[in-house]
Chain A
Amino acid sequence: MGKKKNPSVNNREFAVVAYCFIGLFLCCIGYFVYFQLVKSEDFINNSYNARQENFEKTIIRGKILSADGEVLAETNTDSEGSETRRYPYSELFSHIVGYSTKDHGRSGIEAWANFNLLRSNAFFLEKTMDKVTDEKSIGDNVITSLQYPLQQAAYDALGEFDGAIVVMEPATGKILAMVSKPDFDPNTVSENWEQIVADENSKSPLLNRASQGLYPPGSTFKIITALEYIRQNPNDYQNYAYSCSGTIQENNSKLSCFSGEVHGTVDLKRSFVKSCNTSFANMGLSLDADQMKKTCDGLLFNQALPVEKLETSKSSFVLNQNSSTSEVMETSIGQGKTLVTPLHMLMITSAVANDGVLMKPYVIESTQNHDGQTVKTYESKEYGLVLTKEEAGILREYMRETVTSGTASKLNGMSYEAYGKTGSAEFGTNKGDSHAWFVGFAHREDKADIAVAVIVEKAGIGSAYAVPAAKEVLDAYYR
């Protein structure tokens, strides 16, 4: 190597360096384009992005619509140009649609889709004219998967009780209805703010119980205990037998069947259908607690649910090998320390209905400009397989028989084929105070299957209060 060397040979290294750097620059540009095209939309819809407020100066907030075209939220401008956000159905959609206020922020779809509502994809000439005339452009509309008749039926079914009802399509994850009570009127949320959040009002009406309320699952948890028993005894779970005498005692811990019923000799299916507490406690004692914890983690306990946007709480399941006998027995029947959200129970139920495949729940189907042209469609997304197809099949059979000859028999003999599991979740120290639960799904050839989760607070037993509520929703859907 020396000065004599032909420079053009030496230049090969220069070319290598040049190409490397061209590569780096092009990667930068590529990532920039990728961000703008793919990531940006979700990224910038963040409450820390103060630019959102800027849009309100030039855009009239778009509408929120139900799947069947009902207006759930809209902005009215009066003759003086002042804008008010109106919610034609008042309390009916209060949690899921949410509210949008200057002083108290936003919630629900109003918050999650804030950016979509404040963007205008109107025809560009129209937007240019708006600029010339100094008028606001009309923002995009958000189309939800919510169905007005179903929401109304769920709202009415809950009646005066507190609680929640969620309805979802197991095959897609679309949320069709979501009711939580107590509720509030989003039209007057600012005026009544103090009263709504007041301390003495411990019912927290702003909380969306459907996705954030944590309840003991009661007997609906037997779906999971049964699943775990099948998993740990894959070859002879059919041979399980237990003689129910109304109570079970183990290491000084005692547990009884509901209102002292005696179920006699039961197999696994019968235990499930009759919701036999003592049999499930007996089963629980034979199970490996760590394995069961693993199953629960696989079913999304102790972690954030894979739901975009919707605020959810984490369900918890904490059983381990060192848990006391009484805790094991309690946990097996859905008492103990286990806590779930109605949405989570609905997701597990949906997976059973959908051959073990869990779809991610979502409520925003698409955005459209104000002329109705689609801007963006949100596809349904699969979370993955949480049960095997066989397990789902067995549980479906059990849940079907619960309707035909068990605790959910009020759903029997309808135009649709119903499946389900009831529950009565005891809470507090007063024996007998319980929330009524029902989770289940229904099938009829001409329509998509739907799954429903119902919790009626402090109502008593599931079969008496939650099943009729679910029936009203299913009837409305298959009407």
Chain B
Amino acid sequence: MSSIFCEVSKYLMIIFFALYTWECFSVFQRKKTKERQAAVFRRQNMLMFLLHFDGFLVLYDQTQNSSVLIFYGAQVIFFLIVISSYKLLYEKSAQLLVNNMCMLMAIGFLILSRLSFDRAVKQFTIAVGSMIFALGIPFFIQKIKFVRNLSWIYAAAGLLSLGAVAALGATSYGAKISFRIAGITLQPSEFVKIIFVFFVAGMLYQSRSLKQIAVTTITAAAHVLILVLSKDLGGALIFFVVYIVMLYVATGNPFYFIGGLAGGSAAAVAAYKLFAHVRVRVVAWQDPVRVIEKEGYQICQSLFAIGTGGWFGSGLNQGMPEKIPKVEQDVIFSAISEELGGIFAICLIMVCMSCFLMFLNIAMQLKDRFYKLVALGLGTTYGFQVFLTIGGVIKFIPSTGVTLPLVSYGGSSLFSTMILFAIIQGFYIIREREGKQNGQKEESLRQ
């Protein structure tokens, strides 16, 4: 009987998530009436809690471990507090972002609990701490205006911490990306991503003269170079793309976009020729089965997981995602696809996409150029990271070893993504205020 429960739950979770995803996009269309929008958000919350409940019930049924139930309860309280405190503290907050953030975390907790209960608990603890910190951010965003004048402090802090990791950091899977301080592993590049966006936005907000652009480009290139030298290819790519996109939007000059991409491609070819660790990734991407013993092992296992799971998945605890190296971090998407199904996985991509669209939407509607650029930069950071990690594990592009924000295991990634969401949340609140003060009719969202 327990297996039939598992089987039914498998389909139920797909249905819940598909409906949730549908609501993510329907909210863009029904912008006009506040009431209907509020109803959508309530339905989303309900669907999330149903999915979450069903998932943990299956896990409990499978493991018969009562701590799973306690853990589940703690998460429900956490999500309730997050959702209600945003509503209480910030009346104007973007509910869709809060919902998506909770949904992605819920999926993360669920799959992590299945993969490694200890890690899931650790992840949850970090989430709680991060949330307390992040809840204050929208408030500060509104009060503190001088953040735009600190560009060089951001650059110095960013370069210093990246440089320190490159010089002293611990090597993990061939890349130097983290520090260990007092038993806690810190991955500074996750935070530098955010201050890098502030740096670029501040510089291009001040001036868009050729000299300013040159200085900014050189500093940005220094970030990318340090990351390449520490073999953090995914990080380097994200910084690069974020910079190109911000430069293009700030100047409105498509030449920077096209030229930047061309230059980036040339640099990629050079990197391929120069660095063995780049070639390894490309070889593993081209024909992973041929090098399955070594370079292609991870990607093959990832594809085995996705393919074997099929459209509907094997059901929680029924697959073998633990066969994939680093499954909790970089390859979590494949574990989700294997056990919860390909349809669920596609919905997950759509939810991430709806977050990204929401970010850009907010950026478009802000009046302040600096905020606009920051929102754009953070949105691009998020969107491109999602693309890199999912594209990498499904072998659409060579794998670069980055995490899926809010879902993957990793404290630095989780913390920094929550900060990122909170900053955007702050901008949204500013926008809503501006909208009201100017008495302008609300532009309908275009996406």
Contacts and interface: CB of A to CB of B under 8 A. Distances in A.
Interface string B289-321: 100100001001101111110110010001110
B307 A13 contact: no
A21 B383 contact: yes
B349 A28 contact: yes
A35 B394 contact: yes
Nearest to A3: B369
Contact of A131 (B3, B254, B349): B3
Contact of B304 (A1, A11, A13, A43): A43
Interface stretch (B122-130, B227-235, B263-271, B357-365): B357-365
B395 A46 contact: no
Contacts of A24: 383, 387, 391
Q: Identify the interface centre among A22, A35, A51, A131: most chain B CB within 10 Å of its CB.
A: A51
Contacts of B353: 21-22, 25
A14 B356 contact: no
Interface in A235-267: none
Contact of B349 (A16, A25, A48): A25
Nearest to B7: A131
A32 to B, nearest CB: 5
A59 to B, nearest CB: 13
Given A25-B353, A28-B394, A131 B307 contact: no
Contacts of B363: 14
Would you call the interface of chain B mostly helix, strand, loop, or mixed?
Answer: helix
Contacts of B350: 25, 29
Contact of A17 (B7, B245, B345): B245
Interface range on chain A (Cβ under 8 Å from partner): 35 or more
Contacts, number: 131
A476 interface: no
B307 A41 contact: yes
A36 B311 contact: yes
A46 B394 contact: no
B273 to A, nearest CB: 26
A28 B3 contact: no
Contacts of A14: 249, 360, 363-364, 376
B308 A51 contact: yes
Given A17-B245, A50-B320, A1 B208 contact: yes
Contacts of B297: 48
Would you call the interface of chain A mostly helix, strand, loop, or mixed?
Answer: helix
B323 A50 contact: yes
Nearest to A31: B396
A31 B349 CA distance: 12
B446 A21 contact: no
Given A21-B387, A35-B306, A36-B342, A46 B300 contact: yes
A18 B311 contact: no
B307 A44 contact: yes
Interface string A171-198: 0000000000000000000000000000
A448 interface: no
B56 to A, nearest CB: 21
A3 B373 CA distance: 13
Contacts of A41: 307
B5 to A, nearest CB: 10
A40 interface: yes
Nearest to B367: A7
B74 interface: no
A388 interface: no
B218 interface: no
A21 B364 CA distance: 15
A128 interface: yes
Nearest to B366: A7
B345 to A, nearest CB: 7
A306 B321 CA distance: 33
B7 A128 contact: yes
Interface in B1-18: 1, 3-4, 7
A18 B306 contact: no
Contact of A35 (B292, B301, B386, B395): B395
A48 B342 contact: no
B380 interface: yes
A27 B396 contact: yes
Contact of B307 (A10, A27, A40): A40
B100 to A, nearest CB: 14
Contact of B394 (A1, A3, A10, A32): A32
Contact of B252 (A13, A29, A46): A13
Contacts of B155: none
A36 B1 CA distance: 30
A32 B342 contact: yes
Contacts of B245: 17
A36 B446 CA distance: 32
Nearest to A11: B364
Nearest to A32: B394
Contacts of A51: 304-305, 308, 319-320, 323
Contacts of A31: 391, 394-396
A46 B304 contact: yes
Q: Identify the interface centre among A1, A48, A128, A132: most chain B CB within 10 Å of its CB.
A: A48
A7 B443 CA distance: 12
A22 to B, nearest CB: 7
B139 interface: no
A82 interface: no
Nearest to A44: B307
A15 B446 CA distance: 9
B8 to A, nearest CB: 9
Contacts of A7: 364, 367, 372
Contacts of A132: 1, 4
B418 interface: no
Interface in B175-232: 208
Contacts of A21: 353, 356, 360, 380, 383-384, 387
B387 A28 contact: yes
A414 interface: no
A41 B248 CA distance: 43
A17 B314 CA distance: 37
A134 B2 CA distance: 9
A29 B447 contact: no
Contacts of B249: 13-14, 17
Given A15-B446, A18-B357, A21-B383, A36 B364 contact: no
A32 B345 contact: yes
Interface of B: 1, 3-4, 7, 208, 245, 248-249, 251-252, 254, 257, 289, 292, 297, 300-301, 303-308, 310-311, 314, 318-320, 323, 342, 345-346, 349-350, 352-353, 356-357, 360, 363-364, 367, 369, 372, 376, 380, 383-384, 386-387, 390-391, 394-396, 446-447
- The 8 A-B residue pairs whose C-beta atoms are closest, nearest first, are A40-B307, A44-B307, A49-B304, A31-B396, A13-B249, A51-B308, A25-B353, A18-B360
29 contacts: A10-B372, A12-B252, A13-B248, A14-B360, A17-B249, A17-B360, A17-B380, A22-B353, A24-B391, A25-B383, A25-B387, A28-B390, A28-B391, A28-B396, A29-B350, A32-B342, A32-B396, A35-B303, A36-B306, A36-B311, A39-B307, A40-B303, A41-B307, A43-B303, A44-B308, A46-B300, A48-B300, A51-B323, A131-B4
Given A27-B396, A31-B395, A32-B345, 5 more contacts: A28-B396, A31-B391, A32-B396, A48-B292, A51-B304
